[in-house]
Amino acid sequence: MPLSISNFREIAPPGPWVKIWLWAIAVSIGCLVMYECHLRTGGFRPSVVDDKDLWSYCRAQVYPYGRNTIVLLGASRIQLDVIPHELEKMFPCYRIVQLAIDGKHPLSVLKDLSEDQGFRGIIVCSITALGFNQKNWDDQSEFVKYYHNHFTLDKQVNRMINTFIQQHLVVADPYVKFRKVFDYFLRRKRMPPPRYLVTCADRSRKADYSKADIIAEKAFRIKRIREIYDQNPAPPHQTWVREAMAIEPFVAEIQGRGGKVVFLRLPSTGKHWELDQQFYPKDRYWDQFAAGTSAETIHFMNCSTLSKYNCPEGSHLDSKDALAFTRDLGLELRKKGILGRCGYNQGTQYK
Amino acid sequence: MLDVVLPVGISFYTFQTLSYTLDIFRGRGRPWHSFLDYALYVAFFPQLVAGPIVRAFHFLPQCLRERKPTGDEFAWAMSLFSLGLFEKIVLADGLLAPIVETVYDAEGPVDVLSAWCGTLAFSSQIFCDFSGYSLCAVGIAKSLGFSIPDNFHFPYASIGFSDFWRRWHISLSTWFRDYLYIPLGGTRRGPFSNTLNVIFTMLVVGLWHGASWRFVLWGGIHGFLILAERLVKRSIPQWDVWKTGYGKLVLCLITFMFISIVWSFFRAESLDRALLILQNMFGIGVGFSGLRLKNSDMVIAIFLTVSIFLTQWLMRNKTLEWLATCSPWWARSLALAGILIFLVLGAGEDRAFIYFQF
């Protein structure tokens, strides 16, 4: 044995280690239970962390139900406005997979699904006029690449365990962890309030705007959309329609395999909608695209059942409205013949 | 320098197998009779990917009899594992890594305070990250009935740079000492040869960390600091003040500051970035303008760095076993409960161990 390698931990320190560990576990569980109760009493609800692993986990679910798979694409609007579980209740033999990604336009996922020969389901793609601009097509591509190249079995198992814990325990939410609470406390000199937005295990999100500062939220949304429109001036509508129609090969590929594609414009209201109209007037942009595409299209302004809802901050629905909105959307999809041959649940309220 | 994809942990198991071969070549051990034992030694999972580097003739004799940990050993092993996990996921990942990333991964200059906080935070992060892994490895090995060497002995309590390398990544520094520095001649062939041996060994230590000039430079600077320390020890008067507690604390603090500054080359993504951060730390070209950390980040960086430094200073001649033995059972229970609570409430984003890349 060459020279010294000192200090091996050969001997364990003496002590009643079983007692020490039992007390440690009891005390830690007790403290965590108290913190959980304190948070729940204060209005906090469990929320799942929506990351690339969770998205990839959902992405892997598009196969088992074949043609009875409904994939929801889009950004935050479809995550907040549509409740997958409610759609599944209306159409029990369909399986809903939520693949929308907050803050990103969805066409790279549509392209990925069109290239995936194993996918034969229905795509409901929530999109705005901005989303068709070709420079926004790659917005979600990092998720697609992650799913194909980095979503390994260990990440899948890790994600399943995390999802299970996060959907049941508030203390598993990073928002209430020490670092965030400490940051917030230093800034505001008080504990953080409950968030108005929680994410479910199926990646849908529930907004309770009674917990939000609506005026600030609305101002933020308007400022943000105005900046986006200012920085990305709308192209002439002929150019835009030409760019939008470039998605036709993806649609044709999916529909050629027996799938279906629906492009959906979800509600925005008030000043937000005015800005949408100002920069991308519906009649010159969306309607032109709808007339040319082989996919189905649904614009909320064309459906009285979908246009009656109010978005508290101009862009998303409150979870209380999302339930009814999902039912109305389900009926609309059925009316268009996209859903309904299979297992439509004609509960009294849907007749 | 090179952009080659390498298997995880290659430098660790290469060094382990080399030590076996060299020890046999030099007659310090005899070829082991069991290939299965040898295979277990090379592929022993707790320390396979990031050390400690275990010597063959410490590990292999442990395979001669069935390993069965006692209840106390298992509980102690789990305590070490929990402490390691706490260092890694709460301190390194949860609290320190975001601060370091803000400073080092940003583009452009950072202000003086932020540059210092980011660099001190990295000193704490790399210690917690790596010693956390090593403690987990020691704990898991012990829970299986095996003992593997400690890799850290409160390194930020070092007085001088030679002392630092006796306390930091001990299994690596002793490996290089036994298989490179001493075979090169060590101190036996006069001062000039010794100087070259120190510099060469430290350059190779730097290169071991990665095929980048930043690591070579980092190793080279450490070699230079070890030589400078020897020179200073010979040159300055041996005043009694340096032997008092406060004097030692000052020397320890000076050592720590130098080591922290040199970590910049280790952490920055490029030499330019490292030099810019160093300039910013001394107010060159930026002063109090440039990117500024949040107040909460600065508080965390300073609080944790001071806490880690003081803890190591107080423990510099002691061990965790001593601490556990001296503490009443309820204090151990409370400490473990605190660790478990922080593991749930203080974890940060998932990050790979820094030393996985080496």
- List beta partners, residue A199: A205
CB atoms within 10 A of CB A4: 10
* pLDDT, position A349: 41
Structure tokens at A311: 């978005």
CA distances in angstroms from A80 to A70, A128, B293, listed in the order given: 17, 15, 34
Report the Cα–Cα distance between both ends of chain B, in Å, rounded.
Answer: 15
Of B75, B80, B98, the CB nearest to A17: B75
Structure tokens at B293: 């950390």
Mean pLDDT of A234-254: 91
Residues whose CB is less than 8 angstroms from the CB of residue A20 and which lie 6 or more positions away in sequence, other chains included: B75, B329, B332, B333, B336
User: Between chains, do B319 and A7 touch, taking CB under 8 Å as contact?
Assistant: yes
CA distances in angstroms from A261 to A56, A113, A295, listed in the order given: 21, 11, 5
- Substitution target in A1, A7, A9 with the highest count of B β-carbons within 10 Å is A9
- Per residue in A283-331, pLDDT (tens digit) is 999 999 999 999 999 999 999 999 999 999 999 999 999 999 999 999 9
Are B347 and B93 contacting, i.e. CB atoms less than 8 angstroms apart? yes
User: Between chains, do B330 and A23 touch, taking CB under 8 Å as contact?
Assistant: yes
Of B80, B149, B178, the CB nearest to A8: B149
* pLDDT, position A347: 46
User: Between chains, do B28 and A23 touch, taking CB under 8 Å as contact?
Assistant: no
User: Residue holding tokens 């990604």?
Assistant: A101
Mean pLDDT of A212-239: 89
- Which amino acid would we find at residue A162? N
- Is A189 touching B (CB cutoff 8 A)? no
Distance from CA of A12 to the nearest CA of B (A): 5
- B75 → chain A, closest CA residue: A17
Does A338 have pLDDT greater than 60?
yes
- Per residue in A1-21, pLDDT (tens digit) is 333 333 445 577 887 888 999
- Is A216 touching B (CB cutoff 8 A)? no
User: Between chains, do A9 and B80 touch, taking CB under 8 Å as contact?
Assistant: yes
- B27 → chain A, closest CA residue: A1
List residues of B with catalytic annotation: 209
Angle at alpha carbon of residue B44, lines to B40 and B45, rounded to 5°: 145
Of A2, A7, A35, the CB nearest to B28: A2
- A27 → chain B, closest CA residue: B337
CA gap B352, B213 in Å, rounded = 23
User: Between chains, do B337 and A24 touch, taking CB under 8 Å as contact?
Assistant: yes
CB atoms within 10 A of CB B349: 12
Looking at residue B105, the DSSP 8-state letter turns out to be: S
Residues whose CB is less than 8 angstroms from the CB of residue B300 and which lie 6 or more positions away in sequence, other chains included: A179, A182, B95, B96, B99, B121
Of A2, A8, A186, the CB nearest to B150: A8
Interface of A with B in 156-175 (CB under 8 A): 171-172
Are A185 and A80 contacting, i.e. CB atoms less than 8 angstroms apart? no
Q: Which of A349, A309, A311 is nearest to A331 (CA)?
A: A349
CA distances in angstroms from A79 to A149, A253, A279, listed in the order given: 25, 26, 24
* pLDDT, position B351: 54
- Is A23 touching B (CB cutoff 8 A)? yes
Distance from CA of A58 to the nearest CA of B (A): 20
Of B70, B182, B324, the CB nearest to A15: B324
Distance from CA of A52 to the nearest CA of B (A): 12
CA distances in angstroms from B147 to A39, B20, B97, listed in the order given: 43, 18, 30
3-state secondary structure chain A: CCCCCCCECCCCCCCCHHHHHHHHHHHHHHHHHHHHHHHHHCCCCCCCCCCHHHHHHHHCCCCCCHHHEEEEECCHHHHHHCCHHHHHHHCCCCEEEECCCCCCCCHHHHHHHHHCCCCCCEEEEECCHHHHCHHHCCCCHHHHHHHHHCCCHHHHHHHHHHHHHHHHCHHHCHHHCHHHHHHHHHHHCCCCCCCCEEECCCCCEEECHHHCCHHHHHHHHHHHHHHHHHHCCCCCHHHHHHHHHCCHHHHHHHHHCCCEEEEEECCCCHHHHHHHHHHCCCCCCHHHHHHHCCCEEEEHHHCHHHHCCCCCCCCCCCHHHHHHHHHHHHHHHHHCCCCCCCCCCCCHHHC
- Indicate the domain borders of chain B: 2-64, 72-357
Structure tokens at A69: 């798979």
- Is the four-CA dihedral B32, B35, B36, B40 of positive or negative sign? positive
Of B153, B178, B329, the CB nearest to A19: B329
User: Between chains, do A183 and B29 touch, taking CB under 8 Å as contact?
Assistant: no
- B57 → chain A, closest CA residue: A1
* pLDDT, position B354: 55
A323-326 — which CB contacts under 8 Å span 24+ positions? A323/A83, A323/A86, A325/A81, A325/A82, A325/A267, A326/A81, A326/A82, A326/A83, A326/A86, A326/A87
Mean pLDDT of A79-97: 92
- Per residue in A146-179, pLDDT (tens digit) is 999 999 999 999 999 999 999 999 999 988 888 8
CA distances in angstroms from A101 to A53, A127, A173, A276, B54, listed in the order given: 12, 12, 19, 21, 47
* pLDDT, position B357: 52
User: Between chains, do A21 and B324 touch, taking CB under 8 Å as contact?
Assistant: no
- Is A16 touching B (CB cutoff 8 A)? yes
Angle at alpha carbon of residue B145, lines to B143 and B151, rounded to 5°: 75
CB atoms within 10 A of CB A214: 14
Distance from CA of B298 to the nearest CA of A (A): 11
Count CA atoms closer than 13 A to A283's CA, side-chain side.
0
CB atoms within 10 A of CB B6: 12
**How many Å is the maximal CA-CA distance in chain B?**
66
Q: Which parts of chain B sit beneath pLDDT 50?
A: 358
- Per residue in A65-82, pLDDT (tens digit) is 888 899 999 999 999 999
* pLDDT, position B22: 92
Are A134 and A168 contacting, i.e. CB atoms less than 8 angstroms apart? no
How distant is the alpha carbon of residue B264 from its chain centre? 15
- Is the four-CA dihedral A3, B11, B187, B156 of positive or negative sign? negative
CA gap B162, B230 in Å, rounded = 9
Of A1, A9, A186, the CB nearest to B150: A9
CA gap B84, B76 in Å, rounded = 12
- Is the four-CA dihedral A237, A239, A242, A247 of positive or negative sign? negative
Distance from CA of A266 to the nearest CA of B (A): 33
CB atoms within 10 A of CB A155: 16
Q: Which of B210, B211, B234, B214 is nearest to B222 (CA)?
A: B214
User: Residue holding tokens 């898991």?
Assistant: B140
- Per residue in A193-225, pLDDT (tens digit) is 998 999 999 999 999 999 888 899 899 989 989
**Residue A324 buriedness (CB in 10 A; 0-12 / 13-18 / 19+):** middle
**Residue A294 buriedness (CB in 10 A; 0-12 / 13-18 / 19+):** exposed
Cis peptide before B61 (omega within 30 of 0): no
Structure tokens at B185: 């001649």
How distant is the alpha carbon of residue A160 from its chain centre? 17
Contacts of B347 in chain A (CB under 8 A): 177
Contacts of A50 in chain B (CB under 8 A): none
Looking at residue B52, the DSSP 8-state letter turns out to be: -
- Substitution target in A3, A6, A21, A175 with the highest count of B β-carbons within 10 Å is A21
User: Between chains, do A17 and B294 touch, taking CB under 8 Å as contact?
Assistant: no
* pLDDT, position A5: 37
CB atoms within 10 A of CB B175: 25
User: Between chains, do B345 and A32 touch, taking CB under 8 Å as contact?
Assistant: yes
Q: Which of B182, B317, B73 is nearest to A7 (CA)?
A: B317
